[in-house]
Amino acid sequence: MTAQILDGAATARKIRDELKAEVAALGARGIKPGLGVVLVGDHAASAVYVRNKTRACEELGMFHETAQMPASSTTAEVAARVEDYNRRADIHGILVQLPLPPQVDAERILALVDPVKDVDGFHAVNVGLLVQKKPRFVACTPAGVMELLRRYDIPISGRRAVVLGRSDIVGKPMAMLLLHADATVTICHSRTADLPAVTREADILIAAIGRAGFVRALHVKPGAVVIDVGINRITDPAEARDLLDDGRLAEFNTKGHALVGDVHFPSVRERASQITPVPGGVGPLTIALLMKNTVKAAGLAPSRAV
C-alpha cells in the first residue's frame, strides 16, 4: 500500500478561512484580536517562525506586535516585557518564542504569562485545565494534530494510540488529548525497552522525538495512521540520500539543505494507511491553532476569568 497524504497545509487554510468570520464578528463588537510576541536574540529559526506567525495575523486582519530583544537580555528584562503585555488591553494573546537564551529563566518567564493570554497553552493553569478535561488553551501542535484527525474523519475512540516523545510542549498534551478522545494511549521515549514492539501496537502513531528519520517501517503496524511532528534541518548529503525521495533529493542537491520529520517517509509511507509529510503536515497547523487560540482569547477578554 501507499499511504494517503494528510495535507496539513490545506487543512490550515480551511481553519484560517473559518477564523476570518470569527475575527469579523469580534470586530463588530469593537474587538481586534491582538498577539504580542517576545523574541529574544537572533536565533534564525525562531525569526522565521515568528515571521510566519505575524504573516498569519496580517492575513486574518489581526493586530500583532513583536518585542525584539537582544540576546544579552536578562530574565528581569524579559519578564518586564511579558508583564507589559499582560497589562495591555490591545494584546489578547502572548507568545514567548522558544528557545530563550541560557541566561534567561524560561520556566519563570512562561509562568508570568497571564493564563487568559497564554495562547501557547504552556501555563500550569492551562495544563491543569487540560488534565481536568476543561481545556481553555491547548498547546498548538497537539491541538493541530487533533484538528487534522477530526477533519480527515480518522476514528480515535477505542483505538490504540502511541505517542513517541514526552515533552511538555507536544508529547504530554498530545497524550492527554488522545486520552480525552477515548483512545488507549501509550507514551514512549528513547529509553523505552523494545521500542519498535511498542510503536507497532499503534493504530495511530504520533512521532515527536526530535530525531530525523528515526521512525522506520519496522516501528509501524501495517495500516497505521502516522503523524510526524518532527521538524529537522539536514545538510549532510548521505543523510539526504537516506531520508529523501528522488524529487526532494534533487531539491536538496540544489539548495544544500532540507527539512525532514522524525519519520523515514520513503519507507513508512509504503506501510502506513495515512501519513503527514514534512514540510506541509503538522507545521502549518501549529500556526493556524495559534491564531485560533488568539481569537478565542480576544473573545474571553471582557470576562478576564481565570
CB count, 10 Å around CB of 290?
Answer: 26
Q: Do the beta carbons of residue 217 and residue 270 sit within 8 Å? A: yes
Selecting among 53, 117, 221, 296, the annotated active-site residue is 53
The answer to whether 97 is a known catalytic residue is yes
The answer to whether 53 is a known catalytic residue is yes
- Measuring CA to CA, which residue among 99, 89, 75 is closest to residue 33? 89
Sign of the dihedral defined by the CA atoms of residues 229, 210, 128, 291, in that order: negative
Which residues on adjacent β-strands are paired with residue 187?
A: 163
The answer to whether 172 is a known catalytic residue is no
Compute the distance between CA of residue 2 and CA of residue 277 in angstroms, rounded to an integer.
13
Phi-psi region of 280 (alpha: psi -120 to 50; beta: other; left: phi over 0): left
Selecting among 120, 203, 228, 262, the annotated active-site residue is 120
Compute the distance between CA of residue 69 and CA of residue 77 in angstroms, rounded to an integer.
9
Angle, nearest 10°, between helix axes 8-28 and 282-300?
10
Output the CA angle 163-164-166, nearest 5 degrees. 85
Q: How many angstroms separate the Cα of 237 from the Cα of each of 26, 242, 269? A: 50, 9, 22
**Active site residue ranges:** 53, 97, 120
